[in-house]
Amino acid sequence: MILFFISACINETVRYRRVDLTGTLSSEDMQSPMYVSAHHAWYDTDLLAHPAAMFDQEIFNPGDFSWTIDIPIPETFTEGLLIYVWQDTDNDEVFCGLNGDEEYSDMAYIDDETLFQINVQLTPQHACLAPEILYANFFE
């Protein structure tokens, strides 16, 4: 009875859509790790609206990859899915860090928000472009 009473008390419901992401991370450098991140293309409204809102990140080796992501479905407005990758060629864990290599990034934009299976082909080729700039330059 007590457990039923307590279980009826829902503070908040958080919702996700689980997507299986597969694809290829291509590079001439097959040794350096790839940092792959998932972003809402747009998040929130009015003054708080901003692009490329990251919600998950994982490290993969170049080549084929498979990743299951839970895309948050917040109360506020969101639009689109971005998969962003950059390759850590100098192994400093920082994208284009000071005194480091010129590193490269790439991005895929998925606007169909009904998919549960997504395949992307990513080839880091844009020098030192962060996800917001990459999205603004190529997808907006």
What is the closest distance, in whole angstroms, from the C-beta atom of residue 110 to another protein in the complex?
15
Residue pointed to by tokens 């689980």: 18
**For another protein, which stretch binds (CB under 8 A), given 13-21, 29-37, 41-49, 93-101?**
13-21
Pick one of 1, 4, 12, 48: the residue that binds another protein (CB under 8 A): 12
Tokens found for residue 18: 């689980």
End-to-end CA distance of the chain: 54
CA 31 vs CA 28, 72, 90, 131: distances in Å: 9, 32, 11, 23
**For another protein, which stretch binds (CB under 8 A), given 6-14, 22-30, 35-43, 80-88?**
6-14
What is the closest distance, in whole angstroms, from the C-beta atom of residue 71 to another protein in the complex?
9
Strand partners of residue 51: 42
Q: Are 85 and 25 in contact (CB under 8 A)?
A: yes
What is the closest distance, in whole angstroms, from the C-beta atom of residue 45 to another protein in the complex?
15
Q: Which residues bind another protein (CB under 8 A)?
A: 5-7, 9-18, 70, 116-117
